[in-house]
Amino acid sequence: MAHRVCPWWLGPLLASPIRRLFQNPAKLLAPYIQEGMTVLEPGPGMGFFTLEMARRVGASGRVVAVDIQAKMLAGLKRRAAKAGLLDRVVLRLAQADSMGLADLAGQVDFAVAIAMVHEIPAPDRFFAETAATLKPGARLLLVEPAGHVDAVQFQAELDLAAQAGLSVTARPAAGRSHAALLQKG
Ligand SMILES: C[S@@+](CC[C@H](N)C(=O)[O-])C[C@H]1O[C@@H](n2cnc3c(N)ncnc32)[C@H](O)[C@@H]1O
């Protein structure tokens, strides 16, 4: 599996409205995100999904967006400010070997990792760190692009997630992608 990180200059393309033609953030996320929630989004890029989630959590919620690239976070910050949603988006810079989420232990209502786990050299650590942030019974929506990750590789990710206590409860459709809804036991 390739672990090359998506270059920051692809950020605007990933956040382009044209992507909605095959992957609609509102449709994908509406069933899971309610007002007041704390949502964790590792690898938000420039925020194609983040802004939709920030709208849905409302003024009393927050989306914690954790990326390894400062330039992705800068693009996300610009877009969130333009949309008037910056007060609901917490931007955090991750380190290569850890997302540094210990302070969020047991606080997260829902997590979303889209098109990012295949870029991580140690996905076992990623799943352990993410699972630790979730409240008991809270869920992680994992989505990987079918063009980069085949079915065998996606299953290997699900196996690692299971080792971190996250079990598959549904396989939602996510437009040219593999997707699974994982619940913390
Ligand atoms: C292909 S982009 C996807 C962005 C966004 N989720 C989307 O679907 O538009 C992958 C993102 O994950 C980030 N990323 C890669 N490795 C990471 C890590 N170890 N921790 C946090 N973010 C990471 C990259 O910097 C990039 O912004």
Atom of ligand 1 nearest to the CA of 48: 9
What are the b/e assignments for 93-119, b being 16+ CB within 10 Å?
Answer: ebeeeebebeebeeebbbbbbbbbbbb
Question: Which of 8, 68, 127 best tests ligand 1's pocket when mutated (most atoms within 8 Å of CB)?
Answer: 68
Q: Does 83 contact ligand 1 (Cβ within 6 A)?
A: no
For residue 137, how far is its CA from the centre of ligand 1 (angstroms)?
Answer: 25
- CA–CA distance, 35 with 91 (Å, rounded to integer): 19
C-alpha dist (Å) from residue 43 to 59, 81, 136: 23, 19, 23
Span 96-105, average pLDDT:
95
Mean local confidence (pLDDT), 84-110: 97
Q: Whose CA is nearest to atom 14 of ligand 1?
A: 43
Q: How far apart are CA 160 and CA 165, in angstroms?
A: 9
Mutation to probe ligand 1, out of 52, 67, 98, 141 (largest number of atoms < 8 A from CB):
67
Q: What is the average pLDDT score of the chain? A: 96
Q: What is the mean pLDDT of residues 58-63?
A: 98
Across the range 34-61, mean pLDDT stands at 98
How much is the pLDDT for 2? 52
For residues 5 and 118, what is the distance between their CA atoms, to the nearest angstrom? 9
Q: What does the pLDDT read at residue 52?
A: 98
Tokens 């954790």 — which residue?
Answer: 66
CB 137 within 8 A of CB 108: no
Given pLDDT bands bounded at 50, 70 and 90, which one contains residue 31? very high
**Residue 16 and residue 30: Cα distance in Å, rounded?**
20
Average pLDDT over residues 81-89: 98
Residue with tokens 């994982």: 182
- Spell out the residues 6+ positions from residue 18 whose beta carbon is closer than 8 angstroms to its own: none
Ligand 1 geometric centre to CA of 185 (Å): 26
Q: Looking at ligand 1, which residue's alpha carbon is closest to its atom 18?
A: 68
Q: What is the pLDDT of residues 103-143, one digit of tens each?
A: 999 999 999 999 999 999 999 999 999 999 999 999 999 99
Average confidence (pLDDT) over 148-160: 97
- Amino acid 96 reads A
Mutate to test the pocket of ligand 1, among 5, 13, 143 (most ligand atoms within 8 A of CB): 5
Q: Say yes or no: CB of residue 5 within 6 Å of ligand 1.
A: yes
In contact, 134 and 108? CB cutoff 8 Å: yes
Q: Under DSSP, is residue 61 helix (H, G, I), strand (E, B) or coil?
A: coil
Tokens read off for 102: 């210990």
Strands 177-184 and 166-170: antiparallel
Place of tokens 């996250």: 166
* Total residues found in the chain within this entry: 185
**Above 90 in pLDDT, residue 50?**
yes
Ligand 1 atom index nearest CA of 126: 19
